[in-house]
Amino acid sequence: MSPAPDSFLERAPLELRDWAVNLLPAPTQWLAHQLITIVAILAVFGLFFAFTTIAERKLLARLQNRLGPNRTGVPKFSILPWHLKHTLFGLSQPFADAVKAITKEDIVPAAADKVLHYLAPVTVVAFSLMGFAVLPFGRQYIPVELDAALLYFFAAGAATELAIFMAGWSSRNKYSLLAAMRALAQLISYELPLILSVVPIVLVTGTLSTKAIVVDQGFWTFSLLPHWFVFTPWGFAGFIIFLVSALAESNRSPFDLPEAESELIAGHLTEYSGFKYALFFMAEYFGLTALSGLGVTLFLGGWQAPCEFLQFIPSYLWFMMKLIGMIVFFIWVRGTLLRLRIDQLTRLSWQFLVPMALLNLGNAAFWVLSAHWAGPLQLVRWAVSLAIIVVPFVVMGRSLTAGYAPRTYRYAP
Amino acid sequence: MLGSGIINGLVVTAKNFVGSYHDPKRMVTQQYPEEPTVLPENYRNFPFLVAENAADPMGTLRCVACQICEKECPPQCIIIEKSKDKKPDASGKLQLYPAVFGIDTSVCMSCQICVEVCPFDAIKMDKVFAIAATDRFTGLFLDREKLAKPNSYYHEIHPIEAAEVDDRLAADRKAAEEKAKAAAAAKAAAAAKPAAPIAGVADPGPASPRPATTTVNPASAPAAPAPKTPPPSA
């Protein structure tokens, strides 16, 4: 690993924070230090959420040969003598949406459990934000350095399921409750493959610390090919399982059963309106962003540059670029795939993803045991590791789809 | 293989994404207020009155206030008041004209019956669709001045149909001229032979379904020379 570049850009945000903290009296400095970190995360990922929504709408539109929202410009402020008439390509849409959500009437059903109904959107946002605390956004940018960061991340992430059930239960609405039950079934089903897809990383690196996992990926072959875990057979399989499970965990299409509009109105969101509704959406996107950030950290080398000579670009920019790539991929998937049925959903998890993840765990164990193989044995190592994944994939794919695929359409061409 | 369908689907949407930026066949959206809508030739709604001359639309209306459309209109949204006096029309013949001609577009259902029944080709269907007003009684009630549009506008919006109408009017007028000439010749002959019965004279009067004298050549102006033969008396 080459010596860490210490350019001005790399250090600039830290210098700024230290300068601001040193302005304050010494006893309050630790508090200011933490608060600045929290505010920075909230501001950056709040804006990231805002522009994810507009990017999602525009991208989905393009995937379906439409234009997407492109009308929202700048309103005419009466205190300003001039008016910017440009529509800004609709990029101010999320702010208009926010104003709309805040000014909408907040309706609470008469029969609802008022306290839980109020708490559910608050807790869901709080828990979905907690995951950001342990993500290494850059070389020195990790809000909380925990040795058991991965454990903490999944513990905090699992708590959002409680909040969703809270919302469904407190609404006193049959659709909401049904959706909440579905959400629980789905989230618990996919919690298992999600965690099992991450365990191989822990096995190979021997640590639960996200910071150490990223540092372990900071090598290059010929200083061009990065040693990210996604470029190993077990890492690739784990990444795919992680992607599928992350989609299901964040309730996104094709796994958006809890809010299947055609079946359950809006699922657990049925009785929510105004800003509380927006909070649920915010939590969904925060959860997705946090899971994508974890995927980037574990499989895509975190803040590491893809080539050694590209290290002059600050590490946090690399992280954000990879994060945006993940989000775009998730939007692409949403624009392509159809929603699954509930039986297909659980079947996919228990009959396919969990066995594959367990096999992958064995694969990672083999990878660790064969770490000292050298020379031509390296090729054998790769071939065996590939075979452990590909052969069960083909066999299980055949046996699972026997009788189901290829589907014949009797009435449609 | 398991998952190949997903990859195929991703390829399809990726093609959509790339194609939507450079392939106009994929991106069919029209940005309406900025890009004017391209309406088909046969698109039609809300009638307008055809005037021969854009410079003097009130003086050259084809309408002779016969009130057939007013009576036929199913929702009864047309109001016509005949004039007290007569004005020469485009071909110089003295005709009544509508002193008041109004269409309430908030009532009009664009059924086109007024156009079907008009014997003078004086009312035709327009192509406007973005009619908006803050007050339905003043904004949506179109009076004579707002309804009158020149023949050139008719050619603009319905070129094929307008050409047909002009051809027909020209042919009718030619036929009427020849008939009038023949009538004049017959009259002359009758004058030579005073015993001939008057009833035998072919006289295209107002009883004929399409009075020839109201027809005009497309090129004729309000100051067009009067027909060589004297117009048959009404």
First and final CA of chain A: distance in angstroms? 57
The domains of chain A are located at 8-66+104-390
**Cα–Cα distance list, B100 to A177, B43, B66, B144 (Å):** 67, 28, 12, 6
Chain A hits for B2, Cβ within 8 Å: 393-394, 396-398, 400-401
Distance CA B69, CA B122 (A): 10
Q: Rg of chain B over CA atoms, in angstroms? A: 26
In a domain, B109, yes or no: yes
Instruction: Reply yes or no: is the peptide bond before residue A254 cis, omega within 30 of 0.
Output: yes
Structurally, how many domains does chain B consist of?
A: 1
Q: Tell if the CB–CB gap between B14 and A332 is shorter than 8 Å.
A: yes
Q: How many CB atoms are closer than 10 A to CB B198?
A: 8
Q: How many CB atoms lie within 10 A of CB A57?
A: 18
Which one has a higher pLDDT value, B231 or A105? Answer: A105
Average pLDDT over every residue of A82-94: 84
Cis omega (within 30 of 0) on the bond before A69?
no
User: Under DSSP, is residue A336 helix (H, G, I), strand (E, B) or coil?
Assistant: coil
Tokens of B105: 């577009």
Residue A248 has pLDDT above 60, yes or no: yes
Contacts of A263 (CB under 8 A, 6+ apart): none
Answer whether A318's CB lies under 8 Å from A304's CB.
yes
Give tens-digit pLDDT for B31-55.
Answer: 888 888 888 888 888 999 998 888 8
Q: For A225-240, how does the pLDDT look when each residue is reduced to its tens digit (9 = 90+)?
A: 888 988 888 999 999 9
Alpha carbons A254 and A341: distance in angstroms, whole number: 9
Closest CA to B123 of B224, B44, B177, B226: B44
For residue A213, give Cα distances in angstroms to A132, A248, B138: 16, 24, 75
Give this complex's ipTM. Answer: 0.82
pLDDT band for position A411 (cuts 50, 70, 90): confident
Residues of B in contact with A394 (CB under 8 A): 1-2
The CA angle B3-B5-B6, to the nearest 5 degrees, is 65
Residues of A in contact with B28 (CB under 8 A): 65
The chain A residues in contact with chain B (CB within 8 A) are 59, 62-67, 332-333, 335-337, 393-394, 396-398, 400-401
Is there a contact between A397 and B3 if contact means CB atoms under 8 Å apart? yes
Q: Give the number of other CB atoms < 10 A from CB of residue A33.
A: 14
Contact between residue A144 and residue A112 where contact means Cβ atoms under 8 Å apart: no
pLDDT at A313 over 90: no
The Cβ of residue A304 has, within 10 Å, a number of other Cβ atoms equal to: 26
Of the candidates A111, A250, A212, the residue with the CA atom closest to the CA atom of residue A170: A111
Q: How many residues does chain B have?
A: 234
- A210 within 8 A of A134, measured Cβ to Cβ: yes
Query: What CATH number should be reported for the domain holding residue B112?
Result: 3.30.70.3270
Q: Which residue type occupies B99?
A: A
**What tokens does A357 get?**
């993840």
Chain A: give the shortest CA distance to residue B113, in Å. Answer: 39
Chain-chain contact of A62 with B20 (C-beta, under 8 angstroms): yes
Going by pLDDT thresholds of 50, 70 and 90, the confidence category of residue A175 is: confident
Find the chain B residues whose C-beta atoms sit closer than 8 A to any C-beta of A: 1-3, 6, 9-10, 12-14, 16-17, 19-21, 26-29, 31
Give chain B positions within 8 Å (CB) of A336. Answer: 6, 9-10, 12-13
**What is the reported pLDDT for B195?**
56
pLDDT (0 to 100) of residue A321: 93
B27 contacts A63? CB cut-off 8 A: no
DSSP state of B198: G
Element (H, E) at B80: strand B78-82
- The whole-number pLDDT of residue A49 equals 92
Task: Put the strands of the sheet holding B45-51 in their side by side order.
Answer: B123-126, B45-51, B148-150
Spell out the alpha helix ranges (H) of chain B: 4-22, 68-72, 113-117, 144-147, 151-157, 159-192
The confidence band for B216, taking pLDDT boundaries of 50, 70 and 90, is very low
Give me the pLDDT at residue A4, please.
Answer: 57
Does the pLDDT of residue B93 top 80, yes or no? Answer: no
The fraction of chain A above a pLDDT of 90, given in percent, is: 28
| pLDDT, position B13 | 92
User: What is the per-residue pLDDT for A5?
Assistant: 61
User: Which pLDDT value is given to residue B91?
Assistant: 66
**Cβ pair B147, B141 in contact under 8 A:** no
Tell me the pTM: 0.76
Domain membership of residue B88 (yes or no) is: yes
Residue B17 belongs to a domain = no
Residue A193 pLDDT class (50, 70, 90 cuts): very high
Q: Which residues of A181-205 are buried (b: 16+ CB within 10 A; e: fewer)?
A: ebbbbbbebbbbbbbbbbbbbbbbb
What's the pLDDT score for residue B92? 67
Q: Is the residue at B83 inside a domain?
A: yes
Chain A residues near residue B3 by CB distance under 8 angstroms: 397
- Report the percentage of chain B scoring pLDDT > 90: 23
Contacts of A381 (CB under 8 A, 6+ apart): A367, A370, A373
Tokens describing residue B159: 């070129």
Average pLDDT over residues A254-279: 82
B58 domain residue, yes or no: yes
Give the least confident one: A401-410, B65-74, B151-160: A401-410
Domain that holds residue B97: 46-162
Does B211 score more than 50 pLDDT? Answer: no
Per-residue confidence at A267, pLDDT binned at 50, 70, 90? confident
CA distance A364 to chain B (A): 23
Specify which residues B149 forms β-bridges with.
B50
Beta pairing, strands B78-82 & B45-51 = unpaired
Which string of b and e fits B85-96 if b means at least 16 CB within 10 Å?
eeeebbbbbebb
Average pLDDT over chain A, rounded to an integer: 87
| pLDDT greater than 90 at residue A159 | no
Residue A248 token pair: 């299901």
Give yes or no for a contact between A74 and A92, defined as CB atoms under 8 angstroms apart: yes
Q: Is the peptide bond before A406 cis (omega within 30 degrees of 0)?
A: yes
pLDDT value of residue A2:
47
- As a whole number, the mean pLDDT across chain B is 80
Given pLDDT bands bounded at 50, 70 and 90, which one contains residue B198? low
Pairing of strands B94-95, B45-51: unpaired
* CA nearest to B148, candidates B129, B166, B130, B122: B122
Q: Quick check: is B158 in a domain?
A: yes
Mean pLDDT score, B8-35: 88
Whole-number pLDDT of residue B90: 63
Residue B113 within any structural domain of the chain? yes
